[in-house]
Structure formats: structure tokens, C-alpha cells
Amino acid sequence: MAEASAGAGRLDGRRLYLCTPDRPDLGAFLTACITGGVDIVQLRDKTLEARPLLARARVAAEVCRDHGVPFILNDRPDLALEAGADGVHVGQDDAPPALARRILGSEAIVGRSTHAPAELDASTTEPVDYVSAGPVSPTPTKPGRPGTGLGYLTYATARAGRPVFVTGGVTPDTVQAMAAAGARRFVVVRWLTEAHDPRAASGALRDAVEEALSR
């Protein structure tokens, strides 16, 4: 199994991971979510070209730095380096983790998406600090990808050998079943990106996570 990097320690104790596209109120939105309980942030926007994505990544990086929260950029280790991000998250069709590690160095956080046992097994030899497992339920953020169900989550948490963040349908109503299946860390998208009051929604989800993990 590949060893985690020096940046892996920055994941200690972090449970609630916001993944968001760009939005006009990005800075204020991130501040509200972090204040409510989010403790790691990823900017994932598949529509922006490199220069505007870099500009928005710098906005997110500054907010996260001010609040002591790691900032992860999706897909682009080169832009993550230029934006001063804490790391990068790569999918199965993105830059390989080894390349991301060479670009960002041993201090960075490198994450990897997994959706099936074979992908999870392959990740154990890659230079990544965490993996995501899911989506448990189908989600419009990953069009065309079926849900993995809770069985894959149990498989991933038992075998990954590093932090596992569950994805797909994370809400206050679903985290109890996810925790029972092995989840200890949760990626949230629509519960917060579609919330009228992101700070309150973040707080409600954080409370639900803490309750689920205490049982």
C-alpha cells in the first residue's frame, strides 16, 4: 500500500466535506458553510476555462485559509498549485494521482474518486491521502452514473487503508444509514448548494453527522 503524504495529517478529525461548483456569491457561501460546520472544501466546476477557474479558485483558497479549512481543487493539479490550494481531487478520467503528487509535492492533499471495488483496490497503491466512495445514490452532479448502494461503502471503508469520504445523497436523513455502513466522513453537495440558508443547513447536517457517529 502506498504511504500517505505529509499533507494527510490535515484531514485528521475532518468530517464534513463541501463540494461546490462556482457561484456568484462563492466567498460568502463558503464562509456560511464553514461557519455552520463544513471543515474541508472542494471547488468542482467542469464548465470554466483555465483562467476563470484559477481566479475563482483563488477566491475559495483565501476564504478557506482565513478559516483554517483545507481547500481542494478538482481535476487540475497545475491550477491547484498556482492558486495556492491545499490539494487536488482527481477522478478516474482525470490526471493520475502520481502526476498530481509530482506537481504539488509531498505536503499537498491528493484525493481520488472511486466507484467500484476494482477502483478502490487500485487506489491502495496510489499516492493519495483519501478516497471518495460513491455515489451511494444517483446524483445529478454525476449524470449517468448509477448509485453504488451502501454495500460498496462498507467495502471501501474496510479496505481503503486511508480516510474514506462517502458521496451521493448526503443529508441529515441519510447519514445514519451511511454511518451504520461504515461511513465516518461525508461529502455534501446539493444539501448546501441548494440551501436557502447555507449556514443553518450546514449546522443541521453537522449535528446529524455527530449524532450518527455517536451511536
pLDDT, residue 117, reads: 97
Q: Considering the domain boundaries, does residue 3 fall inside one?
A: no
**What's the CATH number where 133 sits?**
3.20.20.70
Q: Considering the domain boundaries, does residue 166 fall inside one?
A: yes
pLDDT, residue 6, reads: 66
Q: And the C-alpha cell for 166? A: 462517502
State which residues form the domain around 106: 14-214
Which of 148, 117, 118, 113 lies closest to 132, judged by CA?
Answer: 113
pLDDT in tens, 74-117: 999 999 999 999 999 999 999 999 999 999 999 999 999 999 99
pLDDT, residue 76, reads: 97
Q: Considering the domain boundaries, does residue 5 fall inside one?
A: no
Q: Considering the domain boundaries, does residue 1 fall inside one?
A: no
Catalytic residues, by residue number, are 44, 113, 142
**DSSP secondary structure letters along the chain:** -PPP-GGGGGGTT--EEEEE---TTHHHHHHHHHHHT--EEEE--SSS-HHHHHHHHHHHHHHHHHHT--EEEES-HHHHHHHT-SEEEE-TTSS-HHHHHHHH-TTSEEEEEE-SHHHHHHHTTSS-SEEEE--SS--TTSTTPPP-HHHHHHHHHHH-SS-EEE-SS--TTTHHHHHHTT--EEEESHHHHT-SSHHHHHHHHHHHHHHHHH-
Q: Considering the domain boundaries, does residue 4 fall inside one?
A: no
Which residues of the chain have a pLDDT value below 50?
A: none
> What's the predicted TM-score (pTM) here?
0.94
Q: Considering the domain boundaries, does residue 8 fall inside one?
A: no
Cα–Cα distance, 114 to 136 (Å, whole number): 11
Q: Considering the domain boundaries, does residue 188 fall inside one?
A: yes
pLDDT, residue 215, reads: 86
Number of domains forming the structure of the chain = 1
